[in-house]
Amino acid sequence: MANLVIDIGNTNIKLAVFNFDELSWVQSYKVVDEQVLNDILTGYKPDRAIISSVKKQYTETWEPYLSKHIPLVKFNADMAKLIKNHYRTPKTLGLDRLAAVAGAQALYPGKSSMVIDAGTCITYDWVDTDGSYFGGSISPGLQMRYKALSHYTGALPLLNADEHFTAHAGDDTQTAIHSGVQNGIRFEVEGFIAAYFKAQKPMNILLTGGDSIFFDTLLKNSIFAPHIKIEPYLVLSGLNAVIQQPND
């Protein structure tokens, strides 16, 4: 059974094809159109599709085209049956966060996992060995922090992240910004990990999202580094697990 999985994020649209649990193909797009879908339908012949979007209101012109060719479902908070969702307002939980913890549970069943999604925002979510999810945290992402410093001040320049910056402090304006943003993120991440480790260990630390590799570099000297796993397609894997669940 081949599944087409579509994750509509804040910046990009990710498409993947799974053959049962095996990832066959994945690609990220700024824009998806009928030609893109036709190439996938022709080349991979998926049997069904699932769409998830972080946007509350969205209308994709290609959706009707896709639904004419294969069964299409839209992911919602009631569909992640792998997870025992204890979020106080489950309907407001970001679908990307829910799909990520579902992916963690699908890939590491019976294991405790902390999911750090390093995208536009940084989200921290934890699922325990029983598959119970109680909530998490949302923080500004890497690029958002750099942009905020420039936007909300009159003199600070707009910089990009510097993976070669390793100092504890800056000795000019640019390196001071790098120190504040990158060391600030590192201390934040390490603090969250330490807090969750007190609750339950051993624990997987799963890094996902567009900046996951950069975060892995930031944490390479951390005491938690041996527990870190890069799972770039965690949300997609979660959605694929959801669509394979039997219907009640």
pLDDT, tens digit, 9 for 90 and up, residues 191-227: 999 999 887 777 899 999 989 999 999 998 899 999 9
- 129 annotated as belonging to a binding site for a ligand: no
The model's pTM: 0.91
> Which residue from 71, 105, 65 is spatially nearest to 85, judged by alpha carbons?
105
- Which residue in the block uniquely carries the two structure tokens 């059974």? 1
Q: What is d(CA 34, CA 48) in angstroms, rounded to the nearest whole number?
A: 16
**pLDDT value of residue 58:** 65
pLDDT, tens digit, 9 for 90 and up, residues 138-150: 999 999 999 999 9
105, HSE (Cβ side, Cα atoms, 13 Å):
26
- Active site residues per annotation: 96
Query: Which domains are seen in the chain, by residue range?
Result: 1-74 (3.30.420.40), 77-248 (3.30.420.40)
- How would residue 17 be classed by pLDDT, with cut points 50, 70 and 90? very high
- 10 Å CB burial of residue 42 (0-12, 13-18, 19+) is exposed
- 173 annotated as belonging to a binding site for a ligand: yes
Average pLDDT, the chain: 92
- 97 annotated as belonging to a binding site for a ligand: yes
- 68 annotated as belonging to a binding site for a ligand: no
> What DSSP string describes 133-164?
EEEEEEEE-HHHHHHHHHHTSSSPPP----TT
